[in-house]
């Protein structure tokens, strides 16, 4: 589909989302790049046509929500103009069919507020918001940051991007005890199931805790309040992601978790090659490049190259990422 950028009018303000509105499978979407985007010389790297195709494909598959412009969406490498144009493309294409959250993390509070207000004016439902990444945040500074953005952008829901590796902050229980009372904070994107479970009682009913798809089965068995998850695999082929959501829902009704576990085990088989040496340490060094290579190899979405300076990785790590993409594509073709 060819996307035509247009002059936009102010949207009708939507009601602020609540934690109860956050349910099911939420896809994490990369920002498609044109060929040659790995060069600093390219001033417009956006492939908006590919983005439109992916957005429509995710919604048509039955995905419940879309998160963008985080790590995989290359928020750290897009120019301000590219961020604004991609946000507009996303909101216009989604057209209210599912909730969409855009990443507005910057190096400081004022720029974050300006970008979040821009996204709100476009009609985005919320922001997937991490902490500024220059100084290591203190607990008071981290809490104040989310409070300040909420005060400045009261109509914009927040999904806290709780990634300790990316933001050099552990997101400890005292943090959740304070941000859980911010009405705009409706969900939290976790990278570790242990951290999620540790904080669940502090956020229950106030913040929807969202594990990665690989941890959704385990989390759902532990607590019924875990009823939403985020998926990076969805853009490698959304069929397994949708199937996991439905199998967990079915298991909650029947008590038979066999199929949900089997599908989760298959997902782990698919993604294992993209973790160098079987761990997270090296993965976090090449996170953007690894996942974009994985997604491109899967072939479901035209992702394009990673942007500088996060486009480089060793050949053996690239090979593992591509193997993970091919495995997911194979899994997506199966009847699940």
d(CA 302, CA 312): 19
Of 72, 83, 189, 286, the catalytic one is 189
Q: What is the DSSP string of 35-61?
A: TTTTSTT-S--B-HHHHHHHHHHHHHH
Residue 259 bears catalytic tag = no
d(CA 56, CA 90): 10
Of 72, 161, 190, 216, the catalytic one is 161
Paired residues of 239 in beta bridges? none
Q: Which of 207, 202, 204, 199 is nearest to 159 (CA)?
A: 207
Residue 216 bears catalytic tag = no
Written as six digits, the tokens of 195 are: 């951290």
Classify residue 146 by its DSSP letter.
H
The edge-to-edge listing of strands for the beta sheet with 208-210 is 208-210, 185-190, 157-162, 126-129, 100-103, 65-68, 24-29, 228-231
Catalytic residues: 161, 189
């Amino acid at each position: 589909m060819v996307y035509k950028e247009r002059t936009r009018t102010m949207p009708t303000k939507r009601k602020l989302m609540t934690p109860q509105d956050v349910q099911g499978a939420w896809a994490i979407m990369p920002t498609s790049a044109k060929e040659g985007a790995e060069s600093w010389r390219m001033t417009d790297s956006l492939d908006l046509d590919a983005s439109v195709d992916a957005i429509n494909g995710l919604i048509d598959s039955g995905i419940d929500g879309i998160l963008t412009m985080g790590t995989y969406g290359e928020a750290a490498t897009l120019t301000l103009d590219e961020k604004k144009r991609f946000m507009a493309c996303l909101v216009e294409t989604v057209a209210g069919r599912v909730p969409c959250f855009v990443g507005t993390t910057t190096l400081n509070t004022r720029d974050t507020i300006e970008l979040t207000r821009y996204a709100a004016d476009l009609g985005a439902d919320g922001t997937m918001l991490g902490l500024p990444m220059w100084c290591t945040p203190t607990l008071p500074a981290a809490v104040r940051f989310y409070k300040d953005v909420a005060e400045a952008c009261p109509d914009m829901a927040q999904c806290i991007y709780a990634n300790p590796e990316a933001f050099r902050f552990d997101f400890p229980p005292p943090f959740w005890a304070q941000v859980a009372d911010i009405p705009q904070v409706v969900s939290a994107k976790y990278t570790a199931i242990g951290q999620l479970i540790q904080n669940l009682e502090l956020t229950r009913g106030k913040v929807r805790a969202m594990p990665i798809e690989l941890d959704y089965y385990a989390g759902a068995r532990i607590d019924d309040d875990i009823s939403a998850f985020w998926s990076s695999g969805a853009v490698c082929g959304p069929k397994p992601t949708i199937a996991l959501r439905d199998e967990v829902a079915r298991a909650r009704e029947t008590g038979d978790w066999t199929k949900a576990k089997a599908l989760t085990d298959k997902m782990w088989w698919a993604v294992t090659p993209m973790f160098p040496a079987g761990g997270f340490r090296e993965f976090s060094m090449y996170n953007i490049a690894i996942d974009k290579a994985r997604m491109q190899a899967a072939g479901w979405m035209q992702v394009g190259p990673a942007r500088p300076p996060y486009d480089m990785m060793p050949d053996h790590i690239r090979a593992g990422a591509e193997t993970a993409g091919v495995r997911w594509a194979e899994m997506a073709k199966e009847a699940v």
